[in-house]
Structure 1
C-alpha cells in the first residue's frame, strides 16, 4: 500500500566514498577478526568506523587499545564524564556520527539523561571545558598557560592536573577522529538519528562516482552519454600519468638529497613559503556543513572555527619549532608522568601510522613511501604552525598535488565540508586503502599537533 512508507538505509555500506565490495575484499585479505570480536564483546557492535579502519589492521589494533583505555579502564575521570567529553569534542566538528555513538554510551555508563538536553544542562565543571575544547579543535596555537590555570583554580569546579590530562587527550582524540569520519565518508549506523530516510536521495547524496563521471567528466570533455567509455579511458590515462609523475619526482628528490642539502636558512624560507601558500588551499565557499539538532545543542560559540595560522595583514603567532617542544622529548614524558600508560599507547599509535607501509603505490610494488608519508604528516603540522628544522618543505610542493592539499586541509581543519568530489579528486589511480591511510596520517598528525600546544601550555603552567 502506497500509504505506508518503509524507511530505507540512508547509505549503503560503511562508507559513502568507498564501495562496500572493496572493503569486504580487503578485509578478507587481512583476515584479522580478533579486534572485531573484542569490539563486539565490549560495545555490542562493530561500527562502520572500525570496519573502514580495518583496512589497516595493525593500526586498528593500536587505535582500539588506546580508545578502550581512555574510555573503559581506570583513570581520573568518571565514566559518564568521558563520554560527555567525547560528545562535546565531536560536536565541535558537527560530527553527528560520533555524537550518536557516545550518547548511547553515555547513557549505558549511567550518565544523567538531562545533560543530553545540551551543554547548559551539564555540570559547570564540564562546561568550563568549552573554551579549551574550541581552541583545541580549531586554533590550538592560541592556548596559553592562563587557560590551564583557569581550569585548575576554579574552586569547587576546578580540575586536577591528572583529570585535565585525561580530558585533553579525549578532546584531541575525538577532534581528530571526527576528521577521519568525514574524510572517509563514514555512513550513519542504522540505529542512529539520520541512519534511515523516507526521502529520496538529496543532491549531496548524489555526489557519487556515477554522478561525477557523467556531469564532470563527460560534459567536461564535450561528450554525450554515448561517450562515457571514452571519458573513462581518458580519466584512467590521466590518472596513470599522475602516478608515474609522482614516482619520478620521488626518485629525483631522493637523488638530489644525496647530491646536496639545503642550508638551514633556505629550509626556513621554504617553510614560510609553504605556510603562505596554504592560505590559497581551501574548499570552495559553497561547501557548507550540515548541523543536526542533536549536535548543535552541545556547541557554544558555533561561529568559532579554523583560521589560517598565517593570515595576510595580521601579526601571526610564533611558529612552534619542533626542537623547542616535541612529542618525543617533551609531550610523551609529560603525559606518561600524569596519566601512566596513555603516553605509551599514544606513542605507539603515532609510530605505527607514521611508519605503516606495504611498499606499494597504486599499481607499483617494492616502493619506499617514507618520503611521501613524511610530506603528508609535516604538511598538516605546517598548517598548524609547527616546523621541523631538519625537513625540507620544498618536498611538500613536489610530492603533494593541489587536489590532495585541498583534501588534506579540509579534512584536518573543517572536516564537515569534505565531499565525495574531493575524495575522488586526488590520487585517482590509487587503492581506497591507500586513501584511508592518508586519512589516518591526517588524523594522527592533527591530534599530535593539538597535543603539543596544550601540553606546552601545561608545562609552562607547571614551571
Structure 2
C-alpha cells in the first residue's frame, strides 16, 4: 500500500466504520462529503442486502488503491454495481495485460483531459508516477513517446464524435513501424479511453468533490476548481445550508404531481404496447424524430476561457474539438448505426474478449448489471417495474450517438423523459464539464439521491458502450 498522510483522503461515516477494523489505521474526520450534490449524511450503503459483502469489497479496494475515493463512496449507493465496476477497473489498471502499467495511467490522464476532469487527472498523475512513469511526461504531450502521441486522434474522436472513427484510423495506428500498436494493445487502450471518458461523465454528473485541496496538487490552478471539480460550487451547491422557502409544501405538491404523472405515462405506455405493436416503418420514423429533436436540447452556457487557464490543456491536442450533434442541420446525413448490424452482444463482446482476454466478460457483466439493476421502487412507490424507464435512459444516450435499436419504440423516450431530464442527460453525456447542481436538482425532484446516482451509472455505461461499438466496428472492418 502506498504511504500517505492521513489528511490526504476523505472517508464517509460508513467507510470509517469499515476501516476501524484495522486498529492501526488513523481515520481523519472529513470536512465535507464525497459529493457537492448529495448531503454527506445521505451517502451510505444505500439498499445493500449484504452489507458484509460490500464491507469486504470496500476494504479490498482500500488495500489496493490506498484509499476509498469519493467515486467509490458515491457508487456505494448501489453495492452490486460497485463490485462489478471495481473488479473491471482493477483488471484494466492492475492485472497483467497488453499495456505497461504507466502507459495505462497516462492514457487515463489523456482521456480525462478531453473533459478537463481534474479529479481523474490528479488521481492518475499520482498512479502514473507510482508505477514508474517519467515525471517529464507530465509536462505535456510533446514530452511523451510518439506511440502515445498517436492516440490523440482516436482519443479526441471517441470522446466527442465516435461515429467519425473509421478503419483507416485503426490502420494508421497498427501499421508496421517502431511506433505501431498491436491490436491487443490498441483494444486495451480503447477500453481505457472509453472508460475514463464515461467516468468523467459520472464525476461531473454526481458532483464528485476533490479528494484534497486542488491548490496543492500537480500545478492545476485553483481557478478551475469550481468549474471542473465541484461543479459550480460557487453558485448554488451549498447543500447543507440551503435555506427553506416558505412555499415548501406547495413545491412538494408539485413534485408529487410530477411523479404521479410519470407513473401514469408508464402505465399507459405499457397498455398501448400490449394492445398494438408499431410497424418497423413507424419505429424508424420515431427514431428519426427523436434524433432530430435532440438537436433542440441545449446544454448550459460554458466559459471556454477557463480551459486555457488550466494546466489540463497540456494533455490535450486540438482543445477546440468537442461534441457536435449527430443529426446536424444542413449537413450531409450520416448513416445511422443499426445495432441489428453490429451489437455489443453479437459482435463487440467476442472481438474485445479475443484481443484482450477476459475484459469482454467483465464489461458485459458491468453493462448487464447497471441495465438490469432495480429495487422495484420509484421514489415513494414500491413494487414498480422500472424496466421501461431504464431502457429509455440507456437508449436515449445511444440515440444522441446515432445508434438505433430496431426493436425499440423511440416514442417512449418523449413520453418518459421530460425536458429538464433530457438537458441533464445531454450535458452529462456530451459536455460533462458543464454540469451543475442546478441541473441535477431540476429533474425528478421527488426522487432519492440513490435513484439519481443510478441514472448517472446508466448514462456512464451507455456512453462507454456507444464509444466501444464505434471503435470495435472500425477494428472489425480493418480485420475484414
Q: TM-score, normalised by structure 2?
A: 0.88
* Correspondence for 1:63: 85
Q: Is the 8 A contact 2:45 2:76 kept in 1?
A: no
* Correspondence for 2:402: 385
Are 1:12 and 2:41 counterparts? no
* Correspondence for 2:4: none
Name which of 357, 380, 387 aligns with 1:363.
380
Are 1:257 and 2:273 counterparts? yes
* Correspondence for 2:414: 397
Are 1:144 and 2:166 counterparts? yes
Measured against aligned partners, the alpha-carbon deviations of 1:49-82 in whole angstroms (never above 9, x if no partner) come to: 1000111010010000000000000100000000
Name which of 64, 79, 93 aligns with 2:115.
93
Name which of 196, 212, 218 aligns with 1:174.
196
Query: 1: CA distance between counterparts of 2:420 and 2:429?
Result: 14
Name which of 333, 340, 344 aligns with 2:357.
340
Cα distance, 1:212–1:384 mapped onto 2, change above 3 Å: farther
Query: 2: CA distance between counterparts of 1:289 and 1:426?
Result: 29
Are 1:448 and 2:465 counterparts? yes
3-state DSSP of counterpart to 1:206: helix
Cα distance, 1:408–1:266 mapped onto 2, change above 3 Å: same
Query: 2: CA distance between counterparts of 1:213 and 1:187?
Result: 18
Query: 2: CA distance between counterparts of 1:361 and 1:284?
Result: 28
* Correspondence for 1:270: 286
Q: Is the 8 A contact 2:215 2:221 kept in 1?
A: no
Cα distance, 1:445–1:198 mapped onto 2, change above 3 Å: closer
RMSD: 2.4
Cα distance, 1:266–1:209 mapped onto 2, change above 3 Å: farther
Q: Is the 8 A contact 2:286 2:411 kept in 1?
A: yes
Query: 1: CA distance between counterparts of 2:45 and 2:210?
Result: 22
Q: Is the 8 A contact 2:37 2:239 kept in 1?
A: no
Name which of 242, 265, 279 aligns with 2:258.
242
* Correspondence for 1:225: none
Q: Is the 8 A contact 1:27 1:54 kept in 2?
A: no
Instruction: Report matched runs for 1:116-127 at 5 Å.
Output: 116-127=138-149
Count residues with an aligned counterpart: 442
Cα distance, 1:446–1:289 mapped onto 2, change above 3 Å: farther
Unaligned runs of 5+ in 2: 1-9, 11-29, 227-231
Shift of 1:207: 1.4
Q: Is the 8 A contact 1:100 1:193 kept in 2?
A: no
Q: Is the 8 A contact 1:30 1:55 kept in 2?
A: no
* Correspondence for 1:233: 249
Higher relative contact order (CA 8 A, sep 6+): 1
3-state DSSP of counterpart to 2:319: coil
Shift of 1:206: 3.3
Shift of 1:154: 5.2
Q: Is the 8 A contact 2:36 2:238 kept in 1?
A: no
* Correspondence for 1:207: 236
3-state DSSP of counterpart to 2:171: helix
3-state DSSP of counterpart to 2:234: coil
Name which of 433, 448, 459 aligns with 1:431.
448
Shift of 1:29: 7.7
* Correspondence for 2:179: 157
Unaligned runs of 5+ in 1: 1-8, 215-227
